[in-house]
Amino acid sequence: MKPLHHPSIDTIPYTKVLHALSEPNRLRIIRCLRESGENNCSTYSLELMLNKSTVSHHIKILREAGLIKGRIEGKEHYYSLRKDEIEQKFPGLLSSVFAVKDEDL
């Protein structure tokens, strides 16, 4: 069980964050995390109707872009938004993401 790596926000280019957010399923994951605070992968496999390996892939990209952080509890992985850090480094970005209407994704 290797621990999850969470990059320092300072090392992450803005374009990398935008790229992570520019995939519709990943954007849905981020928006879902705002509502629920914390979720695990099986939640998204169900909600997005994606294979679990695909979800794992998207989660990894979001994590490496500094957008989410993970916590392992038993055999479940829980993820949450790195809200304050992102807001500190890239002010207004997450507000913009959450302001968008579902039908405009």
Partner DNA sequence: CTTTTAGTTTGATGGTTATCGAACTATAAA
Partner DNA sequence: TTTATAGTTCGATAACCATCAAACTAAAAG
Q: Which amino acid is at 46?
A: L
What are the beta bridge partners of residue 77?
72
Closer to a second copy by Cβ: residue 78 or 90? 90
The Cα 34–Cα 98 span in angstroms is 8
Q: Which of 35, 75, 91, 99 binds DNA (CB under 7 A)?
A: 75
The Cα 51–Cα 70 span in angstroms is 20
Query: Taking the C-alpha atoms of 33, 45, 96 and 11 in order, what is their torsion angle to the nearest 10 degrees?
Result: 80
Residue 74 binds to DNA (criterion: CB under 7 A): yes
**Binders of a second copy: how many residues, by CB under 8 A?**
22
Residue 6 binds to DNA (criterion: CB under 7 A): no
Residue 65 binds to DNA (criterion: CB under 7 A): no
Q: Which stretch binds DNA (CB under 7 A): 27-35, 69-77, 83-91, 96-104?
A: 69-77
Q: How far is CA 90 from the centre of its chain?
A: 15
Residue 55 binds to DNA (criterion: CB under 7 A): yes
Q: Which amino acid is at 5?
A: H
Residues of this chain that interact with DNA (CB under 7 A) are 1-2, 19, 23, 25, 40-42, 45, 49-61, 70, 74-77
